[in-house]
A = this chain, B = another copy of it.
Amino acid sequence: MSGVLVTGASGFLGLPLVRELAADGEEVHALSRHPADEELEGVRWHRLDMLDPDAVRRVVQEVRAERLVHLAWFVSHGQFWSATENVDWVQASLGLLRAFAAAGGQRALLVGSCAEYAWGGEGDLDEADSPLDPQSLYGVCKDALRRIAVAYASEAGTELAWARLFFLYGPREQPARLVPAVIRSLLAGERVATGTGEQVRDLMHVHDAAAALAAVLDSGLVGPVNVASGRATELGEVLDLIGSLTGAGELIERGAREPAGSDPARIVARVQRLEREVGFRPSLSLSEGLAATVDWWREVERAPTARP
């Protein structure tokens, strides 16, 4: 028994993870509704709708992977917080986990979110000490899925790790999200209205996140772990860096957009578990990560029909 099954494998985080695992010499079974048009040694793509439980069971049975990384979820920007599709993905995730355990799977890594935590409390967010109090349907579904998955894995004799992602950025992010929206506007010479930029967030380049997930998978860690940088970044600093990297910072109209009333002031992870138990630290600074991201968008905008 060997191999890693990856769901959401052609996604923003999934494709970098598949590349990372392939580079490590893993045998990867990459599941996606839209397999990536990319030949990688050791990677076999499976076209699959994760919301079709019979199809999921068939592939899991056929593949009989030793390990699982489950990334697939409903992630449409602006919609995923409250979309009722979140419930379908709880069902799909439980079905996947059941099928994986039934097929003899040994270790599963599922992904959660900083949205599982209560926001707005004192101090940064810690797996052991911070209260959980998700306020969105998305956060509630991730939190509840974790509760079930942890208890189920304990009965089924499967190892289960749960990676809480914070704020990722990098190549192939959905264009409507903050970082790509600002980069693309500035590269196109268009003005862009932003908020005041005072919110503090924990940002991580998606390639670092992929490397962190691979490291968590290789570790013996079970239960929740923040997969984040542990660095507090004002969004204004992100805007300034993109401005200077594109040479078009004067196009940013800071404060022209009303802040969302519910936007918490600070969402930053404590990363002691990731550092000490997994031994992982991110390799890219914010300026390096943003520079790589701006470069990627420059390439894309030059050749819009052939996105890498």
Contacts and interface: CB of A to CB of B under 8 A. Distances in A.
Given A94-B91, A98-B84, A144 B148 contact: yes
A122 to B, nearest CB: 21
Closest 10 CB pairs of A and B: A144-B144, A140-B151, A144-B147, A91-B91, A137-B151, A144-B148, A91-B94, A87-B152, A137-B155, A87-B94
A156 B94 contact: no
A141 interface: yes
B148 A141 contact: yes
Q: Chain A interface secondary structure, helix, strand, loop or mixed? A: helix
A95 interface: yes
A90 B148 CA distance: 9
Contacts of A156: 84
Interface in A128-174: 136-137, 140-141, 143-145, 147-148, 150-152, 154-156
Contacts of A150: 140
A53 interface: yes
A88 interface: yes
Contacts of A141: 148, 151
Interface of A: 53, 82-84, 86-88, 90-91, 94-95, 97-98, 101, 136-137, 140-141, 143-145, 147-148, 150-152, 154-156
A87 B91 contact: no
A212 to B, nearest CB: 26
A140 B144 CA distance: 9
Contacts of A154: 137
A215 to B, nearest CB: 28
B84 A155 contact: yes
B151 A147 contact: no
Which one of A83, A101, A155 has the highest number of Cβ atoms from chain B below 10 Å of its Cβ?
A155
Contact of A98 (B87, B97, B145): B87
A95 B94 CA distance: 12
